[in-house]
Structure 1
């Protein structure tokens, strides 16, 4: 596995990147064909696209997998363990992607989207294939390094910042698809339709935060166990 796993990581990186590009092209194409000023506002549409946790997590995954593969072919060729910075990066990205897969398939898969707004194969790659690959990477990738439990703080930092950014920005823009004076990337973050309003949204955020901490704990625990088994 040490010899061919970097190739698997590069393949996953390229697949994830292709899926992001395909969906971005579809999104911008739909915007150029919109008949309203707010629907055709490319800057807002593009910024919204890169405001989805799924897209940001997959961008991070594509970059991390490529960097990890390059490291394995260069400085890591004779290394016993991956460097700490790479181990932390893998733990963060893997946690976000696994949570993305879980949240999408439990909360969002059944929600109908406007016809032609998504690229079906891209949607499956971003929400199923790459999350599964990152789970496999956590379980089986070679040269795993043990991480301290303090890594959980680093893992939690990005989702917290993303949630704050999302809720602050939401009421500052016009939704391209509807013209509403707010835009939320996911329905469960929208207090205008979520039962209980902001209190209901807070419940979802707490639940997802708990999922991130739980999955992150599992990722760190697995890394520690795998590193310890190699040392034993």
Structure 2
């Protein structure tokens, strides 16, 4: 009988995996540097520091990159579940880049991370890398738009927590969510963020149907084995 050997990473796939792991190291270093910088200026409340969507999204895509890189090196073919997780992480990190460029960068130092190189990594490098990785690498399958709702689950929880925290301890992560500007303004920006998530998420889902540039996993050459008759 003929058996099909397991898949294996292509040379380009192995390179993609290495690049992902390098990006993970850079992202973790940027988050760590930001945390240490804040700690030098006084006690750090972890709920505040890790409450920023920027930090959460960067750590999320870093975790997804580790997982996706491992699957490539193991020769695993793409699955719907892994593709959905990558799509969600990609949507989040692209939104981070868009929100920073449009709403936060104009505020100067107040809108970004105090450590210059870390700010560049968390707001420019990872969003661009996330989008490029999604377009280039083949470890994804077609996604139905019926699953787009998954993209909104975590942001909805995050916004709810932010609004609750504002009402209880007065902490808000970003100036445009500060109720001092008026709740009409806050809910306007929340609405715009929801529209952005739906728009970017839809684009990410649709791009899953575009043929990738880099094939990361290939079938090994077929090998035939003969079953002996007893």
1:185 corresponds to: 173
Distance 2:40 2:68 in 1: 33
Q: CA deviation at 1:94?
A: 0.4
Does the 8 A contact of 1:28 with 1:46 survive in 2?
Answer: no
Does the 8 A contact of 2:162 with 2:172 survive in 1?
Answer: yes
Give the gaps of 5 or more residues in structure 1.
32-39, 174-181
Give the gaps of 5 or more residues in structure 2.
1-11, 216-230
Question: How far does the alpha carbon of each residue in 1:11-30 deviate from its partner, in whole angstroms, 9 at most, with x for none?
Answer: 11111111111101111221
1:109 corresponds to: 105
Q: CA deviation at 1:5?
A: 0.7
2:197 corresponds to: 212
Question: How far does the alpha carbon of each residue in 1:110-165 deviate from its partner, in whole angstroms, 9 at most, with x for none?
Answer: 21436xx7111001100000000001011111232111112211111111110000
Q: 1:226 aligns with which of 186, 194, 211?
A: 211
1:139 corresponds to: 135
Report which of the two structures shows the higher radius of gyration computed on alpha carbons.
Answer: 2
Does the 8 A contact of 2:50 with 2:56 survive in 1?
Answer: yes
- Give runs of aligned pairs for residues 45-64 of structure 1, distance below 5 A: 45-64=45-64
| Structure 1 residue ranges (4+ consecutive) displaced by more than 4 angstroms after TM superposition | none
2:40 corresponds to: 29
TM-score (norm 2): 0.83
Q: Which has the higher strand share?
A: 2
RMSD, aligned CA:
1.6
Distance 1:143 1:67 in 2: 12
Does the 8 A contact of 1:191 with 1:198 survive in 2?
Answer: yes
Distance 2:108 2:18 in 1: 36
Residue 117 (structure 2) pairs with residue 98 (structure 1): no
Does the 8 A contact of 1:144 with 1:226 survive in 2?
Answer: no
Distance 1:3 1:67 in 2: 14
**Larger RCO of the pair (alpha carbons < 8 Å, separation 6+):** 2
Distance 2:163 2:65 in 1: 30
